[in-house]
Structure 1
Amino acid sequence: MGIIKENVSKDIKAQKAAQIENMSKIDQAFAKYNLEVDEAAVEKAVKRIIDEKVPANNTPEVKKFLYGSVELTSLHTTDTEESILAMIEKVNKQDSLYPGMPHVAAVCVYPVFVNLVRNSLEVDGVEITSVSGSFPSSQSRMEVKVAETQLAVADGATNIDIVLPVGKFLSEDYEGVADDISELKEACGDVPMKVILETCCLGSLSNVKRASILSMYAGADYIKTSTGKEKAGATPEGVYVMCQAIKEYYEQTGVMVGLKPAGGINTPMDAIVLYTIAQEVLGDKWLTNEMFRLGTSRLAQQLIDELNA
């Protein structure tokens, strides 16, 4: 009887192995993860973190860390060379105006302003992030997306933020999504690339998990919540699921992928909540100004105001 059970077990394992071998590479990747997210359980976990852990992080030290993680962003239709230069001037003058504060992690602009930023930014260690790939819709020919990305890198971008092709994702063209991301990653060369999931458009937290895993397998160096151009931005629940995906991907591959919440981060407390979620799910290894970024246009000054109150 024991031999029969052993043979049956071997047959089942062989069948499963054959099934996996016949899957596409994307399906093989998905098979390693539980992509069905219990939304009620996520809400409960987030509520516990907010109630029990956030108060302890409402400190000057955490706020200074958050300031040093900010990607100071200007992505307006009304942006001008003058307005971008005014933003860069604030960064350049920070040491004299706010001694003891870290500098922001990056400035984030449209590709047309990258060369201007490169020539005017005087602070070492501040990255130049450019949105690219037909931001914010990602609805353009691939040749256009690649050319825009290559030009941004040539002009001096040291980070590139692209948008997941949400339409393809919602049509379940996962191979097409992965191909787009991989091609843009190749266009970036050695420059780190963030993939914006536009979580508010994905329909469910299960899709947030799936999009996170797909983006990382396709080459994302960071996953980012939002463009800030849609109906909503970063939510605690979405960030929690993205952190889970990053952790599980790291356990499977040994590759650390960064996190960038963006959009709708309106107060220091919003940022503290997201920081605390990352701390609880990912641990201190991810709590560096390189691995944890915040995309925002207003938070930096609010943090300075609170720290100097």
Structure 2
Amino acid sequence: MEIIKKDLNRQTNITSKYDRILAEYNLDITDEEVKSAVKKIIVERVAENDTLEVKKFLLSCIELTSLRTIDTEESILAMTEKVNRFDSLYPGLPHVAAICAYPCFTKLIAESLEVDGVDITNVCGSFPSSQTFLEVKTIETALAIKDGATHIDIVLPVGKFLSGDYESVFDTISELKQICGEIPMKVILETGDLGGFRNIKTAALLSMYAGADYVKTSTGKEKISATPESVYVMCQAIKEYHVKTGVQIGLKPAGGINTVMDAIIYYSIFKEILGEKWLTTDWFRIGTSRLTNLLLSDIEGREIEYF
């Protein structure tokens, strides 16, 4: 009986710890409130952001991504070589922010990439499910960094989160951030699986307090990926966290970004809520494969299938 009491007390203290953190934030957000706010931004701001300058900025924020079961060394090398050649073919345009791939390709990319300022982003920690032992996640992350990764994307343990096990969620993120050290780490919330805006905001806040440098919407592997509403809620969480802590956190929409207008909408929400201070590639990234050619075609005024 005494052991049970001690365990209950320990669980109460743990719960209280996270409740105290979350109690400082407004989590009582309704669907109507979020949808109305997003609609207002789209109506009032998107048209003014539909410019050549913004499209060039969006191109510079792209993490050029290949996360396919059929990826090979040849296909990843070909993508890297396209990034290498881009400056000479399009000298007036910015290069992409990063190449994003599985960790097994990191060394190949690091040895082949010739462009300064392009990060190597790796998805780690049992992407996309996050369903494995913490020891496996830490080893995979450490090996990716050893091979040359300069950004790490991990997935929030969604099952643990939905079970209310915030301690495991927090500890997983914190442990992986310790492995990353100064390497920026993004936490993928998998917003389409979280079951509502309150959970999205809660997951974003827990991730930031645990050490996330960015919060990211999605893996792109689930039915629902990034949406304007989920990005709005995440931006609000970033803003409120910055007000309380002074710590600046980045954002990465990813998954289901199919058009240039999708990207402009996300940019407009990001800019409206967070302001000019966040409008650099240090704080805004876009995870995509198809958008790169679409932006390039729009900027150049002709259809281009370069990447």
Tell me the TM-score range normalised by the shorter chain. Answer: over 0.9
Determine the structure 2 residue equivalent to 1:196: 188
SS in structure 1 of the partner of residue 222 of structure 2: coil
Candidates 77, 80, 96, aligned match of 1:85: 77
Tell me the secondary structure at the aligned position of residue 129 of structure 1.
strand
In the alignment, is residue 254 of structure 1 matched against residue 246 of structure 2? yes
Structure 2 distance, partners of 1:224, 1:148, is 20
Q: Map 1:1-309 to 2 at 5 A.
A: 24-309=16-301
Distance (Å, rounded) in 1 between the aligned partners of 2:21 and 2:211:
13
- Distance in structure 2 (CA, Å) of the matches to 1:251 and 1:111: 35
* Distance in structure 1 (CA, Å) of the matches to 2:218 and 2:14: 35
Gap regions ≥5 residues in structure 1: 1-20
Give 3-state SS (helix, strand or coil) of 1:24's partner: helix
Shift of 1:187: 1.2
Classify the secondary structure of the residue corresponding to 2:152: strand
1:247 aligned partner, one-letter code: K
Match of 1:48, SS state, is: helix
- Does the aligned pair in 1 maintain the 2:14–2:167 contact within 8 Å? no
TM-aligned CA deviation for residue 23 of structure 1: 6.3
Displacement over 6 Å in runs of 4+: none
Q: Deviations over 1:129-162 (max 9, x none)?
A: 0000000000001110000000000000000000
Normalising by structure 2, we get a TM-score of: 0.93
Pairwise CA RMSD of aligned residues? 1.3
Q: Deviations over 1:110-134 (max 9, x none)?
A: 0000000000000000000000000
Q: What is the total number of aligned residue pairs between the two structures?
A: 290
Q: Distance in 2 between matches of 1:218 and 1:109?
A: 24
Identity of aligned residues (%): 65
SS at match of 1:93: helix
- Name the SS for the 2:215 alignment partner: strand
Contact 2:106–2:147 under 8 Å retained in 1: yes
Residue 24 of structure 1 deviates from its aligned partner by 3.2
**2: distance between equivalents of 1:35 and 1:174?**
16
Name the residue aligned to 1:9: none
Which letter does structure 1 place at the counterpart of 2:196? S
Q: Aligned letter for 1:204? A: G
Computing the radius of gyration from Cα coordinates, the structure with the larger value is 1
Contact 1:37 1:209 in 2 (8 A): no
Offset at residue 215 of structure 1 (A): 0.3
Whole-Å separation in 2 of the counterparts to 1:50 and 1:23: 38
Where 2:248 maps in the other structure, the secondary structure is coil
Distance (Å, rounded) in 1 between the aligned partners of 2:62 and 2:239: 22
Q: Distance in 2 between matches of 1:81 and 1:136?
A: 20
State how far apart, in whole Å, the 2-side matches of 1:58 and 1:261 are: 18
Shift of 1:188: 1.0
Deviates more, 1:22-31 or 1:149-158: 22-31
Unaligned runs of 5+ in 2: 1-12, 302-307
